[in-house]
Amino acid sequence: MMYSWSWGAFAIGFVLLILSVIFMRYATKVADMFGGAYSKYQLYSYIAAGASLFIMFNLHSFIISFLANNIFGGVK
C-alpha cells in the first residue's frame, strides 16, 4: 500500500490533538470530579495525543491494513 495524503484525516487528527491537549491540561480537575488517580487520566490523554498524531499523518491506514492482511490473508 502506498502512502497517500488526506486532508480530512489531517483535520480530524488535528481536532483530536487539540482536544487531547485540552484534556491533558484539565486532567487533574477531571480526576477530582470522577475519582481516580491523576496519572491514569494523564496517561489516557497521552495515548489520545499519540493516536491523533497517527491519524493526522494518515498512518492509521497502514496499521489497519497490516493487521487485516495478517488476519485475513490479504489480497494475492
Residue 12, domain member (yes or no): yes
pTM for this structure?
0.78
User: What is the domain count for the chain?
Assistant: 1
pLDDT at 75: 62
Q: Which residue has the cell 498512518?
A: 59
Host H or E run for residue 10: helix 7-25
Host H or E run for residue 36: none
Residue 15, domain member (yes or no): yes
pLDDT at 2 over 80: no
Q: Determine the structural domain holding residue 20 and report its residue range.
A: 8-63
pLDDT at 76: 54
Q: How far apart are CA 12 and CA 71, in angstroms?
A: 27
Contact 55, 12 (CB under 8 A): yes
Q: How confident is the model at residue 1 (pLDDT cuts 50, 70, 90)?
A: low
Contact 42, 29 (CB under 8 A): no
Residue 45, domain member (yes or no): yes
